[in-house]
C-alpha cells in the first residue's frame, strides 16, 4: 500500500498542509489534461513553480501522489452518495437515486475527459487504501438507506442487514468500477437506463412481501 507517513503529516503546520493540497490539485489537473501515464513529477512541480525535490518532501513517488488524487476524487463521489442517502425522501426513492447518482458522479469525475481512467485502473488493480475507503463508504451508505427502509416497514427485516447491504453494493459495482463503465460506454450501452432497471430490481427484492 502506498501512503504518505501520517505522523509526518500531523507534524506539519498549516502552510505545509496547504502545499500538499496544492500538489494534489495540480496533479489532478495534470492527470485530467495529459493522463496519469504521461505526467511526470517534474511537470507537476513546474506547474506550481517549485522544485521536484520539494514535491518529494511530501510524497515519496508519483504513485503516492496518484493515490492522494484518487482519494480526493473518490471522496467527492462518497459525499454525493451520502447526501442522497440522507435526503428527505422515501427509502425506495433514495435507493433508486443512489444507483443513478453513483453512475453520474463516477462518469462526471472520472470519464468526462477520459484521462483519469489509467489512474483509477492502477488504483483498482493495487487495492489502494483510497479505493477500499470508497467501497466501505458505499456499503455504509447503502446500509443506512436499508436500515431506514426496514424501520419504516418498507423493506423486509428477516434477511440479515449485512447480506442485504453486500448484495446491493455488489449490484452497484457495474456503475462504479471504471473498467466496467468504460467497456459499457465503448459498447454504446445506455448505462443510465441500466442503473434504473437494476435499482428497481434490487428494490423489489428488499420490499416486504
CA dihedral over 186, 187, 188, 193, signed as positive or negative: negative
pLDDT at 17: 84
For the chain, the distance separating the N- and C-terminal CA atoms, rounded to the nearest angstrom, is: 45
Q: Do residues 164 and 139 make contact, with C-beta atoms less than 8 angstroms apart?
A: no
**Where exactly does CATH 1.10.357.10 map onto the chain?**
68-206
Assigned architecture for domain 6-63 = Orthogonal Bundle (1.10)
**Where exactly does CATH 1.10.10.60 map onto the chain?**
6-63
The CB density around residue 56, as the number of other CB atoms within 10 Å, is: 15
Q: Is 4 exposed, middle or buried (0-12, 13-18, 19+ CB in 10 A)?
A: middle
- Of 40-54, 66-80, 142-156, the one with minimum mean pLDDT is 66-80
pLDDT at 109: 76
Pick the CATH number of 68-206 from 1.10.150.570, 1.10.357.10, 1.10.3720.10, 1.20.1260.10: 1.10.357.10
pLDDT at 8: 47
pLDDT at 191: 93
Q: What would the pLDDT profile of 72-120 be if each residue is shown by its tens digit?
A: 988 999 999 999 999 999 999 999 999 999 999 888 877 766 667 677 7
Question: Mean pLDDT, to the nearest integer, of 114-142?
Answer: 82
pLDDT at 1: 40
Mean pLDDT for the chain overall: 88
pLDDT above 90: residue 40: yes
Can you tell me which residue has the cell 489534461?
33
pLDDT at 3: 44
**Which pTM does this prediction carry?**
0.82
Amino acid at each position: 500500500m502506498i501512503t504518505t507517513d501520517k505522523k509526518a503529516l500531523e507534524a506539519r503546520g498549516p502552510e505545509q498542509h496547504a502545499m500538499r493540497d496544492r500538489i494534489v490539485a495540480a496533479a489532478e489537473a495534470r492527470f485530467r489534461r495529459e493522463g496519469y501515464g504521461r505526467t511526470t513529477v517534474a511537470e507537476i512541480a513546474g506547474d506550481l513553480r517549485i522544485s521536484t525535490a520539494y514535491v518529494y518532501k511530501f510524497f515519496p513517488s508519483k504513485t503516492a501522489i496518484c493515490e492522494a488524487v484518487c482519494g480526493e476524487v473518490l471522496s467527492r463521489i462518497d459525499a454525493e452518495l451520502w447526501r442522497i442517502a440522507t435526503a428527505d425522501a422515501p427509502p425506495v426513492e433514495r435507493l433508486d437515486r443512489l444507483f443513478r447518482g453513483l453512475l453520474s458522479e463516477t462518469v462526471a469525475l472520472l470519464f468526462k475527459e477520459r484521462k483519469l481512467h489509467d489512474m483509477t485502473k492502477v488504483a483498482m488493480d493495487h487495492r489502494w487504501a483510497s479505493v477500499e475507503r470508497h467501497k466501505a463508504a458505499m456499503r455504509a451508505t447503502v446500509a443506512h438507506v436499508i436500515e431506514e427502509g426496514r424501520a419504516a416497514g418498507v423493506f423486509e427485516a428477516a434477511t440479515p442487514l449485512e447480506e442485504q447491504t453486500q448484495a446491493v453494493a455488489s449490484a452497484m459495482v457495474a456503475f462504479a468500477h471504471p473498467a466496467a463503465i468504460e467497456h459499457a460506454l465503448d459498447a454504446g450501452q445506455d448505462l443510465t437506463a441500466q442503473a434504473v432497471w437494476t435499482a428497481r430490481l434490487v428494490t423489489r427484492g428488499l420490499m416486504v412481501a
